[in-house]
Structure 1
Amino acid sequence: MILSHLDGLLCVCLQHTDKLVLWNLTTDAHTLLATPAGHGLYTDLTDIVGLYNGASKDYRVLHLSRRSDLLSAHVYSRQLGSWRKIAFGTNHEYQKCRFYWSPGTVCGDTLYFTVCVCYVVGKNLVVGFDTNTEQVIEISFPQYHPPGFSKAS
């Protein structure tokens, strides 16, 4: 399953092992990201992945895991070939498994995720991860009212 892509590089999950793999489509080179310590394993519906190019022009994988409504964040460095744990400061409510997170999308130096609860109106936002500072920001969706809609209604 393709989880994220950037510049021809794919982050995929192997179906029967749940292991993450970085795969370069142009060269067919690939790197298994799973470690004996348990990093690089992906669980569908609770994990989130985003690919980005770090400040040192190093391709990186941000892997967010939600277990028991707690979020842990790890970054894989392609240059170093290793994982490290990072702080990922976002509202604790959005870390719960009832929230759906999209795969990460890079724009400039920020990796963006849409976050929503499909059955609750108004619980939609964008979480941005600054790829240089590793700081997190939360951005509300703009208010939209269809033509003919009256706030008094």
Structure 2
Amino acid sequence: MSERENGKMGKAAKWVKDNGLALAREMVGRHDDDMSNEGASRQFRRDMERATAAFAELGADKQQMHELLRKWFGVDSMEEADSYIKEGAQFEYPMTLLEEYLKREGCETMDIIRFKKDHNVVEKLRRDPSLSNLTAEQLKQRMEQNE
């Protein structure tokens, strides 16, 4: 190696030695920040889905839900709001109603899990948004009919 290359290599090695630990700490910090932001984003999404489920329970229609999401939560994107509404109002809300109904009817937790699995409740709710308009009793009957 020439003296010039050795000098460059020596400087690079010295820089890595002097700054490597700080660089590694910064990279770990950035990774932790990314993970925190991702977790916060997931939590926000979950909160919006639950909010739309609550709006549905109060009788809000889709347009009212859009307005509430925009006004109170700063959700300006119609596509984003539709995503929350689909998951919350068209899936989570009827699922919760059905679970509560089955509990009132005397079902234990394992019975409810088995009912949802045996009747493909999750798949059916995701596939057919009209099911979210049914009462819990009607939803149970529909699930039992569509075997």
- Name the TM tier (shorter chain): under 0.3
Give 1 or 2: higher helix fraction.
Answer: 2
Give 1 or 2: higher strand fraction.
Answer: 1
TM-score normalised per structure 1:
0.24
Q: Considering only CA atoms, is the larger Rg found in Structure 1 or Structure 2?
A: 2
For CA contacts below 8 A with separation 6 or more, give which structure has more relative contact order.
2
